[in-house]
Structure 1
């Protein structure tokens, strides 16, 4: 298992306690909204990249898609595999590496499951791996925070009480990363974790897409798919496409 911070935090049970508000209902609503706007159909082979415990994968499969949920966390995949069935697969995998070349019609990377790497070159490697995994004519959807808005609205300190555990949270913007430090005590044992997400700008993403070979099709600014506004949108939701005559990269 990775010794990078995300390999530790995402494998922790406390991660899921802190983010328990990200439930199946939320996931289903966003997938329904996307299906109304995108050209993915029952029978399509799709990838849920950084799938967590599989809430999006499970719902996509229920709508008729053949789904591969990929995640770095061993514990997440072990949990998700309880729901595996014909046409619904869960695999432990690092997004910087190609899983299967030219196999998928669509790739979903949802809820800021990107930008974790210390080396910026790894972000481009992940985008290139998506490109290589898509069939010609396929698309990828990357849902990322809007760093301009997040940094301007950063709450420096917060305490949350969840399931009897006090989460003490500090947030900062340091060296190009939006950083969250998390302290908690559970059954007499103290734990400390962190999250670091690179503040990847809109322009940075466009550069990644160009280098990988993608064409930008659409950018939305929220989960209702309103148009992206740099000064006010909470999200940057990119729809990118691989051409029908895509060259090898």
Structure 2
């Protein structure tokens, strides 16, 4: 009997996920990568792991800048798409971030665009951080780009509708009793009704710092947006952690 897919395996493999989020700003993504490369002083000899790489947007851009990049993601369809861009310094693999991918191989591990917080327990989130830490060389850095939990929880938009490619997505959001941001996505396409769910743990700054400590990592900076301004909990769009091994 096959194991049922976790919500993110099902939703991220769906073509509708990519339709709904097709307007993600590539300029914003490249600006973030440029800024973080300058901020940390990336070298062309550095090896980078793109953790939960999706279709490879960040990995492909990093590779175009001359870096040696490996992208890993749980979605078979995402990796199949990204792999068409593979070359001698760019490779992609299907992999679960809760499991160790490599030991002491990478100068930087990048986890971008809230590609974290998907699991059912704090233990699983801790395992993912520990696995990322083990992939880093001594002195290497993990960059986690997460939503600003404080602002999202305190300014939650409970309902919205978004039309993309002729499909009307009806989206509702709530905070569950166990601290997850639940997004329900309902739509009709070609006469069929669909309902998907996103579930992201509202991990606080303090909880992240605890995970880092347990993984033997030290937080060197907390940034609040893709221009890398300092984090301010009331107004920042993001929590971007820079942590070192």
Q: Which category of TM-score, normalised to the shorter sequence, fits these structures?
A: over 0.9
Q: CA deviation at 1:228?
A: 0.6
TM-score, length of structure 2 as denominator length? 0.96
Residues 223 and 240 of structure 2 are in contact (CA less than 8 Å); yes or no, is this contact kept in structure 1?
yes
Higher mean alpha-carbon deviation, 128-137 vs 227-236, is at 227-236
Runs of 4+ that moved beyond 4 A: none
Q: CA deviation at 1:26?
A: 2.4
In structure 2, stretches of 5+ residues that fail to align are none
8 Å CA contact 1:183, 1:193 repeated in 2 = yes
Alignment-derived partner of residue 164 in structure 2: 162
Aligned residues: 242
Distance in 2 (alpha carbons) for counterparts of 1:67 and 1:150: 31
Distance 2:238 2:78 in 1: 25
Of 194, 207, 220, the match for 1:191: 194
Checking the alignment, whether the CA contact within 8 Å between 1:158 and 1:169 is kept in structure 2 is yes
Indicate whether 1:211 and 2:214 are aligned. yes
Q: Which residue of 2 aligns with 1:226?
A: 229
- The question of whether the paired residues in 1 share the 8 Å contact of 2:28 and 2:226 is answered with no
Aligned to 1:247: none
Cα distance in 2 for residues equivalent to 1:153 and 1:13: 29
Tell me how far apart the structure 1 counterparts of residues 96 and 66 of structure 2 sit (CA, whole Å). 26
TM-score, normalised with respect to structure 1: 0.95
> CA–CA distance in 1 between the matches of 2:108 and 2:91?
15
Q: Distance in 2 between matches of 1:200 and 1:24?
A: 26
- Pick one of 9, 26, 41 that aligns with 1:7: 9
Q: Are the equivalent residues in 2 in contact too, given 1:23–1:55 (CA < 8 A)?
A: no
Q: Which residue of 2 aligns with 1:79?
A: 81
Alpha-carbon offset, residue 2 of structure 1:
6.0
Q: Among residues 115, 120, 123, which one is paired with 2:122 in the alignment?
A: 120
1:131 and 2:130 aligned: no
Q: Which sits farther off after the overlay, 37-46 or 198-207?
A: 37-46
Match of 1:176 in 2: 179
Q: Tell me how far 1:39 sits from its aligned partner.
A: 2.4
Q: CA deviation at 1:64?
A: 1.2
CA RMSD of aligned residues (A): 1.0
